[in-house]
């Protein structure tokens, strides 16, 4: 297994855990049928032997249909409200020219009213780490 595959596998496992936490979070924050999500791309690609920007495309599927395609580069932050539902996210690496199988998250049910905060960063020893906070 290549180093990149190992890294993306670790990020995926943490993201799946974050989705499970989001599902179990209290539903008191909103009553409009949405949840709030903020994603921060904090991984400098040079640390992984790639470009500093590490450009990716996140494909967001809701209830099996493509909802959005979001381009992200190092230090980008996206914050939005999304309708509650069943979500799957697939990441396409522009530098590798392929979907990264280990970077698929979901399907996971996200209820209304939760606040999901995801931050991709390099943790101890230079390994990628995804910090998830759910309120």
What is the C-alpha to C-alpha distance for residues 94 and 130, in angstroms, rounded to an integer? Answer: 20
**How many structural domains is the chain composed of?**
1
Q: Tell me: the pLDDT tens digits for 4-61? A: 544 444 444 444 444 444 444 444 444 689 999 888 888 888 988 889 999 988 888 9
Question: What pLDDT, on a 0 to 100 scale, did the predictor assign at position 49?
Answer: 87
- Kindly report the pTM of this predicted structure: 0.65
Domain housing 67: 3-134
CATH number of the domain that 115 lies in? 2.60.40.10
- Using CA atoms, how far residue 15 sits from 3, 30, 31, 54, 57, in Å, is 19, 23, 25, 18, 16
Torsion sign across C-alpha atoms 79, 83, 87, 89: negative
Residue 7: CB atoms within 10 A of its CB come to 20
* Reduced DSSP (H G I as helix, E B as strand, rest coil) percent helix, strand, coil of the chain, to 5: 25, 45, 30
User: Within a 10 A sphere around the Cβ of 24, how many other Cβ atoms?
Assistant: 10
Summarize pLDDT for 53-96 with one digit per residue, the tens.
Answer: 999 888 889 999 999 998 989 999 999 999 999 988 777 878 87
- Both tokens assigned to 48: 């992984």
SS3 of 16-37: the string is HHHHHHHHHCCCCCCCCCEEEE
């Amino acid at each position: 297994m290549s180093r990149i595959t190992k890294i993306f596998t670790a990020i995926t496992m943490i993201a799946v855990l974050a989705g499970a936490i989001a599902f179990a979070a209290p539903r008191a924050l909103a009553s409009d049928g949405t949840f709030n999500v903020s994603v921060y791309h904090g991984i400098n690609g040079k640390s992984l032997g790639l470009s500093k920007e590490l450009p990716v495309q996140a494909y967001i599927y809701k209830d099996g249909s493509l909802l959005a395609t979001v381009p992200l580069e190092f230090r980008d932050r996206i914050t939005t409200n999304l309708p509650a539902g069943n979500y799957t996210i697939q990441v396409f690496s522009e530098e590798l020219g392929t979907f990264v199988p280990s970077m698929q998250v979901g399907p996971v049910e996200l209820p209304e009213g939760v606040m999901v905060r995801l931050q991709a960063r390099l943790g101890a020893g230079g390994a990628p780490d995804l910090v998830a906070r759910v309120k």
